[in-house]
Structure 1
Amino acid sequence: MSTSATEHSVGNNTTPKRASLPFWAQVLLGLAVGIGLGLVARTWEVDWLTTTLSTVGSTFVSLLRVIVVPLVLTAIIVSIANLREVTNAARLAGQTLLWFAITSLISVVIGITIGLLTNPGASATVDLSAAEASSTQGTWLDFLTSIVPANILALGAEADGDGGVSLSFNVLQLVVLGIALGAASLAVGKKAEPFLDFNRSVLEIVQKLVWWVIRLAPIGTAGLIGRAVANYGWDLIGPLAVFTIDVYVGCAIVLFVLYPVLVKAHGLSVRRFFAGAWPAIQFAFVSRSSVGTLPLTQRVVTRNLGVSPNYASFAVPFGATTKMDGCAAIYPALAAITVAQLFGIELGIQHYLLIAFVSVVGSAATAGLTGAVVMLTLTLSTLGLPLEGVGLLLAIDPILDMMRTATNVAGQTLVPLIVGKRNGLLDEKVYNSANVSSIEHDDPTDTVSQERQTIPV
């Protein structure tokens, strides 16, 4: 923590700044506090503390979710409109999808290899009588029909147990709707400019709201981690310890081996990649939401990594809803192997090929939200494995989801970097600059925010 005061000069006036604590340190402090409070709540069964931590954590996630609809919809519309400023936009979109598929395929192979080497289901000690199919399931038919928006905001309503009605949304439908509206705006031409200006204004407002929520990340981190420790102790993780370790190891290999190899293969500094992308990766770990991290991801891709904003405004929102190496490659591969071993089902080469196919083609089903139940059930149903196995894995899902989401977001920063480098859309002076903007706490709607380095405490 820095204790020295810095000075900010305005004209002839010099105003000393207060001592400050970097945002990343605030998040780590929240992490430590949450773990401590979670241990206290679990060890001494302090119910009110567990409830408080759960409320704080769920409120933080709810704040992220509530702005997903306007954020994704306007971001996609604006990004499609911005593509007209980029030459060979169709080729860029194709290359982006290609690299999404390449990295997903390599990731799922890593997951399958780890599963075959460690046999996570064979060493599990869970009670199969507790197996229960998840109420949320995904099939290929559901996936295909869900692409078509049901209404203008892709909202759905269903009755809850209390007689009320709860609203939900389908992020994939939002993406399709945004692409359609953006493409139609380009086709209309000048007459659509007021509509595009409106969307740009809404996007700026929503990004401001998101940034306010991000500033609460240290508090949200304490609640999320504390709730996880209080509710998901070793007595729940222990029976699936090998599976848990496998997921973390698999994601770590993708994050710290595969991605650096690809960065180095394109003649770029690995250290600079992690220095620039780390704010988004760190926030993804605690928030467990690729979509919630979207504004920060786009910020690091353009300001720290030097990717062209016009291209990044398309690639990053698209990746936040479809690029899921953690949730849609590593995790479902290991989960399918674990469930098969738990129920004594032998998998053949055709099953592993199906796992790879589902991971590459069906990753959009995860939709960038917290959790990966839809992708898991889609994989299991495709392989013909018991969906009851999902219930055995859900107990520790929040612990796994942190690492999965961090891997997802790292991949969402990597692909725009690679495509930008290959197409002359990367400012390498920015990429190699030693001055990394502290955008994990900068305001994306503030034009002078690059000068800010810390948040006052």
Structure 2
Amino acid sequence: MSTTTSSRRRLRAPSFTVQILLALVLGVLLGWWALSIGQTPEGEPNGLTVALDTIGGAFVSLLRATVPPLVFTAIVASIANLRGVANAARLAGQTLLWFAVTAAASVAIGIGLGLLMKPGINTSVGADAAADPGRTGSWLDFLSGLIPANFLGLQSSVSLERAGDEIAGVSGSLSFNVLQILVMALVVGIAALKVGQKAEPFLSVNRSLLAIIQKVLWWIIRLAPLGTLGLVGRAVATYGWESLAPLGTFAAAVYIGLALVLLVVYPIVLKSNGLSVVRFFRGAWPAIQLGFVSRSSIGTLPVTERVVERNLGVPQSYASFAVPLGATTKMDGCASIYPALAAIFVAQFFGIELAITDYLLIAFVSVVGSAATAGLTGAIVMLTLTLSTLGLPLEGVGLLLAIDPILDMGRTATNVAGQALVPTIVAKREGILDVEQYDSANATDLFTEDVEHADGAPQEVSGRPEAAAAPVRS
């Protein structure tokens, strides 16, 4: 018996955190190997690069596939659990307030670094790299983004492949807008409450769907080490680091700013609310590292929501609303630090003097503009909104495109950390955070089974016996 037990111990797989770290190291090594191999004689990516790209892309696609049903069913179930709009409105207000507070601190850091390091002057990039972007942000994007194109906010696009004058083929793709899904889920959830008893069969089916989706997500997340290997390997093999040299000062300023937000601003916010900094980063690490390698807040959303609930102790009824909202509007990396630094870079590069009112306008756009571009992807959209509002040349965007993927890794990791931070802070201030779970959970808890009610619905996280009911009180 003792021999069998010891054998099982020896064969036990390493922890999730160790698996991720090993995948990161192996991904970097494979990426450098693929980079050293170079392209094929036909100018195509080599087989190793294609394999890494396929593995990483497949993992992110699997995660993104769970986003629409997860967001919709989780929010409908949460509204059904809330049973009261007054306190939900207060939680939403607190969430938006802390979004703005942390964004303001982030943009202040971005402006300060831009003035101190002068990245637009200390650069060797040529003016011939300037190019007009194909997509610009607009203040009307928020209003148009709120109106669902269809029931689940799904959008399709079709492209024709031509060979000379002939059509060689047709390809299409299907995308979604998380903000529109969130709006539809809120409307359906509130309508279900108003209908009353007649909506109970629908709410029961919705709870069952949510439990099934969470189980599928549990299976996908277990593939995270493999996905990490492919994503980081692809990044190294595809981008390398040679393009950083001409824009070294700008890249350094961006990553210094991101580090200050992650390691100074967020810890100050956590400590001022009585929460352990180490415990937060330990609990949020799976989502942060996935955001870094995937460069997608939306793709990381299912993992972010799971760590916020499982590791950080935020009730599901609140997390299922706050995390998707944050994934579309809470962008401290892409919508605060980066646009501020980039706008100053463009102004310095073209020799345009900025007045104090311009810096205040940068701060305003960075804090409010992320909501205006909600549902749209990429920091370039937010940057064009900032430049157009300030009247700066939009051609300046082209100067920064060469290193955008490298910067985007750090930006997305910071975005995801902020998207996990704010629900945790608000839950703590509202007295609904499971502090014991926050202080004890780690990445391994992502893979524990859901505790279920007698009716089969997933058990919500609760810090006190009355915490699960706390959101329903006004």
Q: Which residue identity is paired with 1:320?
A: A
Tell me by how many angstroms 1:208 deviates.
2.9
Moved more, 84-93 or 248-257: 84-93
Identify the residue that residue 436 of structure 1 maps to in structure 2: 442
Deviation at 1:367, TM superposition (A): 4.5
Quote the offset at 1:161 in angstroms: 4.7
Compared with structure 1, are the counterparts of its residues 6 and 97 closer, same or farther at alpha carbon in structure 2 (3 Å cutoff)?
farther
Distance 1:168 1:88, change over 3 A: closer
Residues 285-324 of structure 1 mapped to structure 2, 5 A cutoff: 285-324=292-331
| 1:334 counterpart (332, 341, 356) | 341
Distance across 2 between alignment mates of 1:188 and 1:427: 32
Whether contact under 8 Å (2:27, 2:230) holds in the other structure is yes
Q: Gaps (5+ residues) in structure 2? A: 40-44, 162-169, 460-474
Is 1:199 the equivalent of 2:192? Answer: no
Is the 8 Å Cα contact of residues 327 and 408 (structure 1) preserved in structure 2? Answer: yes
Report the CA distance between 1:7 and its aligned residue.
5.9
Do the aligned residues in 2 keep the contact of 1:60 with 1:220 (CA within 8 Å)? yes
TM-score by length of 2: 0.84
State whether residues 280 and 440 of structure 1, in contact with CA within 8 Å, keep that contact through their aligned partners in structure 2.
no
Tell me the alpha carbon deviations over residues 139-194 of structure 1, each in whole angstroms, 9 at most, x when there is no partner: 11233222211211222233325243333322222222222222222222222222
Report the AA paired with residue 35 of structure 1.
V
Answer whether contact 1:6 1:17 (CA < 8 A) is retained: no
Residue of structure 2 in register with 1:357 after alignment? 364
Q: 2:247 aligns with which of 235, 240, 245?
A: 240
Change (3 A) 1:167 1:88: closer
Q: How does 1:278-427 map to 2 (within 5 A)?
A: 278-364=285-371, 367=374, 371-427=378-434
2:471 is matched with none
CA distance in 2, matches of 1:79, 1:286: 30
Query: Counterparts of 1:18-167 in structure 2 under 5 Å?
Result: 18-46=11-39, 47-48=45-46, 49-84=48-83, 88-162=87-161, 163-167=170-174
Alignment of 1:259-274 (within 5 A): 259-274=266-281
Quote the Cα distance in structure 1 between the aligned partners of 2:445 and 2:285: 10
Measure the CA separation in 2 of the matches of 1:253 and 1:217.
Answer: 27
How far apart are 1:369 and its partner, in Å? 7.8
Q: Deviations over 1:358-415 (max 9, x none)?
A: 2222213555786323222222222222223323323322222222222122212222
In structure 1, distance between residues paired with 2:448 and 2:292: 19
- For normalisation by structure 1, the TM-score amounts to 0.87
- The more displaced of 227-236 and 358-367 is 358-367
Secondary structure of the residue aligned to 2:388 is: helix
AA at the equivalent of 2:445? I
Distance in 2 (CA, whole Å) between partners of 1:6 and 1:316 is 44
Change beyond 3 A, Cα 1:317–1:90: same
Measured in 2, the distance between the counterparts of 1:366 and 1:218 equals: 32
CA deviations on 1:263-284 (whole Å, 9 max, x unpaired) are 1112222222222222322222
Q: CA deviation at 1:65?
A: 2.5
Q: In structure 2, what is the Cα distance between the partners aligned to 1:370 and 1:382?
A: 19
Match of 1:216 among 223, 232, 242: 223
Question: Following TM superposition, by how much is the alpha carbon of 1:108 offset from its aligned partner in structure 2, in angstroms?
Answer: 1.0
Letter in 1 for 2:337: I
Instruction: For residue 164 of structure 1, give the secondary structure of its aligned residue in structure 2.
Output: strand
Output the amino acid matched with 2:226.
I
Kindly indicate whether the alpha-carbon contact (under 8 Å) linking 2:290 and 2:300 is maintained by their aligned counterparts in 1.
yes
Write the distance in 1 (CA, Å) between the matches of 2:76 and 2:254: 35
1:104–1:80 Cα change, 3 Å: farther
**Aligned Cα root-mean-square deviation (Å):** 3.0
Give yes or no for contact 1:207–1:445 (8 Å, CA) kept in 2: no
SS in 1 for 2:173: strand
Query: Which secondary structure does the structure 2 equivalent of 1:306 belong to?
Result: coil
Q: Which moved more, 1:337-346 or 1:101-110?
A: 337-346
CA contact (8 A) 1:38 1:230 kept: yes
Partner AA of 1:410 in structure 2: A
Are 1:226 and 2:233 counterparts?
yes
Q: Which stretch of the first structure deviates more once superposed, 222-231 or 110-119?
A: 222-231
Q: Distance in 2 between matches of 1:312 and 1:6?
A: 43
Q: Deviations over 1:80-109 (max 9, x none)?
A: 333327972222221111111111111111
CA distance in 2, matches of 1:44, 1:322: 40
How far 1:256 moved relative to its partner?
1.0
After TM superposition, give the deviation of residue 53 of structure 1 in Å: 2.4
Residue 64 of structure 1 and its aligned partner are, at CA, apart by 2.5
Structure 1 pair 297/111, CA: closer, same or farther in 2 (3 Å)? Answer: same
Which position in structure 2 is the counterpart of 1:11?
Answer: none
Q: What CA distance in whole angstroms lies between the structure 2 residues aligned with 1:57 and 1:370? A: 19
Residue deviations 1:3-57, cap 9 Å, x none? xx9969xxxxx97673211222222222222222222222331531223323333
Closer, same or farther: CA 80–383 of 1 in aligned 2, 3 Å:
farther
Number of residue pairs matched? 440
Q: Alpha carbons of 1:62 and 1:311: their partners in 2 closer, same or farther (altered >3 Å)? A: closer
1:281–1:407 Cα contact (<8 Å) kept: yes
CA distance in 1, matches of 2:8, 2:67: 39
Q: For residues 81 and 402 of structure 2, what CA distance do their matches in structure 1 show?
A: 43
| Cα distance, 1:289–1:209 mapped onto 2, change above 3 Å | farther
CA separation of 1:61 and 1:206: change in aligned 2, threshold 3 A:
same
* Residues 1:443 and 1:429: Cα distance change in structure 2 (over 3 Å): closer
Gaps of 5+ in 1: 9-13, 451-457
